[in-house]
């Protein structure tokens, strides 16, 4: 298996949707991936936030292998032994009451949007007034399917697919006055990413979250928190909204919940759940035995091994070290994050692109989002020593770039 031959084959055979980095990974152990030549890479991205337990974790592997030998799939026409087991765990850790299983983040978000519409329809049938409008936030990212992309802010994701769902109004992030001015009983849901991920690692403010909760309570509209990137332990609590002490009516999760096996879920309270009846929503694969067995293994391992505390501790070390780095590098604009969801914003998009690429060349995997933000979403089992390796490499690279950007080179457009 050669990278070059795969690149050629994919170029011919696949739709032109991804610009992959030129690396071919064939295995992994712990927080390291290895390529086809056996070179190891420190993974600070975990497959965009999915491989929470890293690679080759025995609890996850054993659960998947055992379930594979028993039964991989049945469809939602029948019962299997793991659906309720995983749903119980998710309701216990989230504070919500009911679960709908699906296969990805965007599907979970579609389910939440449809639930909001069905909920407002149900209230209207009871004689209350509740409209069909969604309030979404600027810089939000909720996925790529038609409904999700209608609530995703960036023009490049939306515009090629117009017309989208028309009843979505975007307001500036964390702008409480705009929220109050836009909200009315025409709104069926306020949509919040508790910590914006693609948008550059920006936590929603306590004030904004509280105002959204209060407004939804005043009309019966749903407060929906997208925790697809920040949920299931990523920030050191099971859900990022738990840092605020505010419970949404609905939340969505996906990425890390089954440790890399595709799975998503929409969770909601009893009141919102009343809106769905058999046949209104569904999926063939959602919550199949294999994905549920993986999900149970992930949640039980996080609990058994005290991984939430570990995420808090290693995340705090990571943020402290990055803040120290910011003191010695003018190129760093800001360090943001919670637990192991961290963004390092640089002053310059070209520099951010260069640093991300050069870290890869040094076999440290990260990615860049929102042009200027280096994003870290490592496996939860990351140790402080791994953080130090990454921060030291960043320090060296930033120093190198600062030296190169000497007055002589400042006018050189190739460095622009």
Q: Which residue is nearest to ligand PLP (CB)?
A: 105
Nearest-approach distance from CB 252 to ligand PLP, in angstroms? 7
Pick between residue 43 and residue 198 the one whose CB is nearest to ligand PLP: 198
Structure tokens at 19: 């610009």
* Residue nearer to ligand PLP on the CB measure, 28 or 256: 256
Q: Which residue has the tokens 């049945």?
A: 74
Minimum Å distance from CB 102 to ligand PLP? 10
224 vs 275 by CB, closer to ligand PLP: 224
Residue 246 C-beta: closest distance to ligand PLP, Å: 18
**Nearest distance from residue 111's CB to ligand PLP, in Å?**
12
Contacts of 227 (CB under 8 A, 6+ apart): 194, 239, 240, 241, 251, 252, 253
Pick between residue 194 and residue 219 the one whose CB is nearest to ligand PLP. 194
Question: Minimal CA–CA distance to 375: which of 322, 330, 329?
Answer: 322
Beta carbon of residue 369, minimum distance to ligand PLP (angstroms, whole number): 10
Least separation in angstroms between CB 107 and ligand PLP:
7
Which is nearer to ligand PLP, 48 or 389 (by Cβ)? 48
Task: Please report how close the Cβ of residue 237 comes to ligand PLP at its closest, in angstroms.
Answer: 16
Residues near ligand PLP (CB under 6 A) are: 48, 104-106, 109, 141-143, 193, 197-198, 226, 228-229, 254
Q: Which is nearer to ligand PLP, 193 or 249 (CB)?
A: 193
Nearer to ligand PLP, 201 or 355 (CB): 201
Structure tokens at 248: 């949404």
């Amino acid at each position: 298996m050669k990278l070059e031959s795969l690149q050629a084959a994919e170029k011919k055979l696949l739709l032109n949707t991804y610009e992959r980095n030129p690396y071919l990974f064939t295995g992994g152990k712990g927080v390291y991936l290895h390529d086809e030549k056996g070179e190891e890479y420190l993974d600070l991205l975990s497959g965009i936030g999915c491989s929470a337990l890293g690679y080759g974790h025995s609890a996850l592997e054993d659960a998947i292998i055992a379930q594979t030998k028993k039964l991989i799939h049945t469809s939602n026409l029948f019962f299997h032994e793991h659906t309720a087991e995983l749903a119980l765990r998710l309701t216990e850790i989230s504070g919500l009451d009911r679960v709908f299983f699906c296969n990805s983040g965007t599907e979970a978000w579609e389910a939440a949007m449809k639930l909001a519409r069905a909920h407002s329809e149900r209230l209207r049938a009871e004689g209350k007034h509740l409209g069909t409008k969604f309030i979404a936030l600027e810089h939000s990212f909720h996925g790529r399917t038609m409904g999700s992309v209608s609530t995703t802010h960036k023009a490049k994701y939306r515009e090629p697919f117009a017309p989208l769902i028309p009843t979505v109004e975007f307001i500036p992030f964390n702008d409480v006055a705009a929220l109050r001015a836009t909200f009315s009983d025409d709104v069926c849901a306020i949509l919040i990413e508790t910590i914006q991920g693609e948008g550059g690692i920006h936590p929603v403010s306590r004030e904004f979250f509280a105002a959204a909760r209060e407004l939804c309570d005043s009309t019966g509209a749903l407060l929906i928190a997208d925790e697809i990137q920040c949920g299931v332990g990523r920030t050191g609590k099971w859900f990022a909204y738990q840092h605020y002490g505010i419970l949404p009516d609905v939340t969505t999760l996906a990425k890390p919940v089954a440790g890399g096996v595709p799975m998503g879920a929409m969770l909601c309270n009893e009141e919102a759940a009343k809106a769905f009846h058999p046949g209104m929503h569904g999926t063939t694969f959602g919550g199949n035995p294999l994905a549920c067995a993986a999900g149970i293994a992930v949640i039980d391992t996080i609990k058994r091994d005290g991984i939430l505390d570990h995420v808090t501790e290693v995340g705090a070390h990571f943020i402290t070290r990055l803040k120290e780095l910011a003191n010695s590098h003018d190129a760093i604009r800001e360090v943001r994050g919670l637990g192991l969801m961290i963004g390092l914003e640089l002053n310059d998009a070209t520099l951010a692109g260069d640093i991300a690429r050069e870290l890869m060349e040094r076999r440290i995997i990260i990615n860049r989002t929102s042009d200027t933000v280096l994003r870290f979403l490592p496996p939860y089992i990351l140790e402080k020593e791994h953080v130090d390796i990454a921060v030291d490499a960043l320090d060296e690279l930033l120093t190198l770039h600062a030296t190169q950007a000497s007055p002589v080179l400042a006018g050189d457009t190739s460095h622009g």
